[in-house]
Amino acid sequence: MPRQNRVTPYGELIAVPDRGMFWGNRGPLLDREGRLARYSRGQAWVICVLSFKGRRRQQWTPGRLTELYFLDEATGLAAGHRPCGECRYREYQAFKHAWARDAGKNVFYALDEAERDSLLKKIENEGKTKAKPSVTRFKGLGEMNPSQLRETTMDPRTRRLVQLTISAKDDSDQLMDMLLAKKRASDRRDWLEEKGNLAEVVP
C-alpha cells in the first residue's frame, strides 16, 4: 500500500502508487510510531534528485527528514518547494536569481480596510519602489494558495489570531451560532431565504 508521501501541485500529501521524478522534504513529519503527524516542520522545502553521490536513506524513519515525492519539477514548484542547493546547485542558483528578479516582492496581510490603507500609505511614504502596489482580497481560506494559507493560518510564527467577542445584550450570540454552526445548515438556509433580499450590494 502506498504511503502518504506524494505531493500534489496544491501542496497536499496523498497516497498514490505513481512514482516521482524528484524527491524532497519539509522536515520530520512522523510521530514516534511512524505515522504522519504534521504537514510541515521548518521552511526549507526542497526538490532533490533521486540519486546523488551514491547516498542511501532508510525511508519513513521517525525523527529524521520525511521523504516526499513529486511527479515532476513543476509539481514541486507549484507546491512551494525550491531546488536543493546541494544536489541541484545550478537549478538552485537559477531559481534564486529568478525569484529575486520577478517574485521577491514584499507581501503584507491586512485584517480590515483601515489596516490596508495604513499599509498602502506607509509604502507610499517610504518610496522604496516605483511599482504600484497590487491589492487582493480573500473571501475565505479556499481562495488562498498553499503558501498564503501557511503564512496567514497554519504557521504560528506568522499568523495572527483575533478573538471574537460578543458583548451585545441581545440575540447576537444566537444569530452567530446560526450563521456559523455546522449543525445548523437548515436554519441558515431558511434565514437566507427570508433575509437575503435585505442585503446591500456595495460596488
Q: pLDDT for 2-24, tens place per residue?
A: 899 999 998 899 999 888 899 99
Q: What is the pLDDT of residue 5?
A: 92
Query: What average pLDDT does this structure show over 50-62?
Result: 91
Looking at the fold, whether 84 and 119 belong to one and the same domain comes out as no
Residue 61 resides in a domain? yes
Q: Does residue 125 carry a pLDDT above 80?
A: yes
pLDDT band with cut points at 50, 70 and 90 for residue 72: very high
Looking at the fold, whether 20 and 95 belong to one and the same domain comes out as yes
Domain extent, residue 79, equals 6-103
Q: What is the pLDDT of residue 138?
A: 75
Between residues 84 and 134, the one the model is more confident about = 84
Residue 191 resides in a domain? yes
Looking at the fold, whether 63 and 92 belong to one and the same domain comes out as yes
Tell the burial category of 7 from Cβ atoms under 10 Å away from its Cβ (0-12, 13-18, 19+): buried
Looking at the fold, whether 144 and 169 belong to one and the same domain comes out as no
Q: Does residue 128 carry a pLDDT above 70?
A: no
Query: What average pLDDT does this structure show over 181-199?
Result: 87
Would you say how long the chain is, in residues? Answer: 203
Tally of structural domains, the chain: 3
Residue 1 resides in a domain? no
Residue 202 resides in a domain? no
Between residues 141 and 88, the one the model is more confident about = 88
Looking at the fold, whether 99 and 10 belong to one and the same domain comes out as yes
Looking at the fold, whether 132 and 184 belong to one and the same domain comes out as no
Looking at the fold, whether 41 and 93 belong to one and the same domain comes out as yes
Looking at the fold, whether 178 and 148 belong to one and the same domain comes out as no
Residue 42 resides in a domain? yes
Q: What is the rounded average pLDDT for all residues in the chain?
A: 85
Cβ partners under 8 Å of residue 20, min gap 6: 6, 50, 69, 70, 71, 72, 75
Residue 148 resides in a domain? yes
Looking at the fold, whether 42 and 89 belong to one and the same domain comes out as yes
Looking at the fold, whether 54 and 132 belong to one and the same domain comes out as no
Looking at the fold, whether 42 and 117 belong to one and the same domain comes out as no
Cβ partners under 8 Å of residue 27, min gap 6: 40, 41, 42, 44, 65, 66
Looking at the fold, whether 65 and 146 belong to one and the same domain comes out as no
Residue 203 resides in a domain? no
Which amino acid, 47? I
Residue 88 resides in a domain? yes
- Output the DSSP codes for the chain: ---S-EEPTTS-EE--SPPPSEEEE-S--B-TTS-B--S-SSS--EEE-S--TT-----S-TTSPPPEEESSHHHHHHTT-EE-TTTTHHHHHHHHHHIIIII-------SSHHHHHHHHHHHHHH----SPPP----SSGGGS-HHHHIIIII-TTT----------SSSHHHHHHHHH-GGGHHHHHHHHHHHGGGPPPP-
Between residues 155 and 54, the one the model is more confident about = 54
* Portion of the chain with pLDDT greater than 70, in percent: 92
Q: What is the pLDDT of residue 66?
A: 92
